[in-house]
Amino acid sequence: MNAGRLTTHVLDAAAGVPAGGLKITLWRLSGEAREKIKAVTTNADGRCDEPLLAGDALAQGVYELVFEAGDYLRRAGSELPEPPFIDQVPIRFGIADASQHYHVPLLLSPYSYSTYRGS
């Protein structure tokens, strides 16, 4: 059995807190095709209650996480212009070795975001 997994978490860098209640959609990409794998909402710690993919469900390939940042920021009380500067945040990444742990965090504010491969 494959022990690899895909996880994420979101931090509201402007407020200095985890981004709870933020909706995320996971897609698998193959050429021009885009397959929706899962939709989740972060918990109070800004994390998902379980890995987005784990074991044999995690396969080599190209994936995209789409974070509904604008909706979260509005609910968190940020005053955003219309349209907001940051709304949906897509992060496209590759899984080269499905036996590894891929952690894709998002650091978010109304006017910037960053990501990295975490552990």
Structure tokens at 103: 């952690």
pLDDT band at 34 (very low <50, low <70, confident <90, very high): very high
Question: How does residue 3 score in pLDDT terms, banded at 50, 70 and 90?
Answer: confident
Banded model confidence at residue 1, pLDDT cuts 50, 70, 90: low
The whole-angstrom separation of Cα 84 and Cα 37 is: 27
The neighbouring-strand residues paired with 90 are: 66
Contact 91, 107 (CB under 8 A): no
